[in-house]
Amino acid sequence: MNRLVVISNRVASSNKPASGGLAIAMEELLQRRGGIWFGWSGDIVDSETPTSDRIHINQDNLIIRITIDLTQQQHDSYYRGFSNDVLWPVFHNRVDLAKFDNFSFEGYQFVNKMFALAIQKFLRKDDIVWIHDYHLIPLASELRELNCHQRIGFFLHTPLPPPIILETIPQHRALMDALAAYNLIGFQTIQDVDHFRSYLEKRKTTYFSNKASNECYSIELNYKDFPIGIDTENFIEFSSQNAATDACQEIKQEYSQRRLIIGVDRLDYSKGLIHRVQALKELFRIYPENRKSATLIQVGSPTRETNLAYINVREEFESLCGAINGDFGELDWVPIRYLHQTLSREKLAGFYRAASVGMVTPLRDGMNLVAKEYVAAQNKEDPGVLILSQFAGAAEQMKEALLINPYDIKSTANAIQLALKMSKRERIERHQSLLQVIVEKNVHWWSSEFLNALISGKQLVSNRENL
């Protein structure tokens, strides 16, 4: 088996819970298969520090983690700038939040080049290289410049917007042209594939030419949807283990006689948190019987905390939660319990299991693995109900969830009411078919589909017939 080299901006460390779908999925893949995981260390160092002192190598079990520090300027332009202030908002349809400038694009290109120079030394001829997410789109083209001829794949964890939105990025041509250096490009959904195809049609090409220093090549682009999954078997198992069942019992006792609704998200504007609590407020207004009997437990993990858009969404969300708790709460009942922290996976599994309703209602999301984890954690004999945004990638696969438009506050409130009142029989039926999807299309299916396609080099088409 060829050695796998995974490259992503974030590298989870073995002793800290990973936040975000990418880190969780990569940890699970590499724990099983082994290989190298390369990316940013998460640290910022003085620009005087020599490059050799900025690279760190750690081996734990089968995973060799190689990380590199960034300077403040690299961090500000590559990570905070182009990745978080341009690509993230635009890819999530929030052009209004994007801050376009050339300085950050130059820093983005520079750090991609620096990553290529750093990892190239560790690569063997027959390694399979798998690059992840929007931070590193130009990385393969930088590696090709350094004469790396390995098979290199790319997977985008976020959505890809339609051309009219993608084209708002002033450097969209250079960005998309860099994809020509990959042997395979993976997207989360068929809709993303369609957006990519329309973009190519608008550019009137099915290939890009890429001029590297000593070779000029035009390749037919190979791309397809590969919806990411979770380690379902494993999650089911540890949802019924002690740490999770203790957390489940504890929370059930504390909220005895109350129905729990759970939401677990990074505190990101794409997650629809404000719309979600507005829907809850609407629920209490139009169905007052839920007052005192239903409570939302909302975990909002800290994320990108120095970015103004995140500071704003946090302020608005927290003040709305405060207002709802003030308006509707009673001495012995708080409508929303909000936890601004990252919980351990065991605790989360217990919380999911204790909750009658799981709310996954992003305004836009690549996939959203919380939807899958919520289903996996349920007790099969008495499962909860998943409310899922039609704008999450997961909605393409998880059709037996209660699908909602998160912008439609009243319909979302009605969906919560429906979920709270749903008969056990219907809950079991829906849960069974959702479980089937996440068992069949788990994270191992996802990574082997992608890696087999990358290794075989076969030209692919997207799975439209499954829609």
Residue 405 contacts ligand G6P per CB under 6 A: no
Residue 430 contacts ligand G6P per CB under 6 A: no
Q: Tell which positions 172-211 bind ligand G6P, by CB under 6 A.
A: none
For ligand G6P, give the closer residue by CB, 265 or 400: 265
In the complex, residue closest to ligand G6P by CB: 20
DSSP state of 43: E
Residue 278 contacts ligand G6P per CB under 6 A: no
The one-letter code for the residue type at 9 is N
Residue 394 contacts ligand G6P per CB under 6 A: no
The greatest distance separating any two alpha carbons of the chain, rounded to the nearest whole angstrom, comes to: 73
Q: From the CB of 368, what's the least distance to ligand G6P, in Å?
A: 9
The answer to whether 403 and 390 have CB atoms below 8 angstroms apart is yes
3-state secondary structure of 333: strand
Task: Write down the catalytic residue from 157, 195, 275, 431.
Answer: 157
Q: Exactly one of 303, 325, 342, 405 binds ligand G6P (CB under 6 A); which one? A: 303
Q: From the CB of 251, what's the least distance to ligand G6P, in Å?
A: 26
176 burial type by CB count under 10 A (0-12 exposed, 13-18 middle, 19+ buried): buried
Task: Write down the catalytic residue from 133, 177, 231, 365.
Answer: 365
Provide the b/e sequence for 85-123 (b: ≥16 CB within 10 Å): bbbbbbbbbbeebbeeeeebbebbbebbbbbbebbeeeb
Residue 304 contacts ligand G6P per CB under 6 A: yes
Cα 292 to chain centroid distance, Å, stands at 34
User: How far lies 416's CA from each of 248, 253, 262, 366, 382, in Å?
Assistant: 21, 22, 11, 23, 17
The one-letter code for the residue type at 45 is V
For ligand G6P, give the closer residue by CB, 83 or 278: 83
Q: From the CB of 364, what's the least distance to ligand G6P, in Å?
A: 12
Q: From the CB of 433, what's the least distance to ligand G6P, in Å?
A: 26
Is residue 96 among the annotated active site residues? no
For ligand G6P, give the closer residue by CB, 195 or 304: 304
Range list of H helices, 121-218:
139-145, 163-166, 172-177, 190-202
Residue 21 contacts ligand G6P per CB under 6 A: yes
Q: From the CB of 19, what's the least distance to ligand G6P, in Å?
A: 6
Residue 217: both structure tokens together: 């090549």
User: How far lies 19's CA from each of 44, 369, 370, in Å?
Assistant: 19, 11, 11
Q: From the CB of 366, what's the least distance to ligand G6P, in Å?
A: 6
Stretch that binds ligand G6P, among 14-22, 44-52, 94-102, 338-346 (CB under 6 A): 14-22
Tell whether the torsion through CA atoms of 13, 19, 22 and 24 is positive or negative: positive
Is residue 365 among the annotated active site residues? yes
Per-residue contact track with ligand G6P, 123 to 162, x per CB under 6 A? ----------x-----------------------xx----
For ligand G6P, give the closer residue by CB, 19 or 234: 19
Residue 444: both structure tokens together: 């191992």
Q: Return the bridge partners of 266, or none.
A: 301
For ligand G6P, give the closer residue by CB, 21 or 163: 21
Per-residue contact track with ligand G6P, 75 to 114, x per CB under 6 A? ----------------------------------------
3-state secondary structure of 418: helix
Q: What strands, in cross-sheet order, belong to the sheet with 4-10?
A: 55-60, 63-71, 35-45, 4-10, 128-132, 151-155, 184-187, 223-225
Q: From the CB of 306, what's the least distance to ligand G6P, in Å?
A: 11
Distance CA 67, CA 135 (A): 15
For ligand G6P, give the closer residue by CB, 183 or 188: 188
Q: Which residues are marked as active site?
A: 157, 365
Interface ranges with ligand G6P (CB under 6 A)? 10, 19-23, 133, 157-158, 303-304
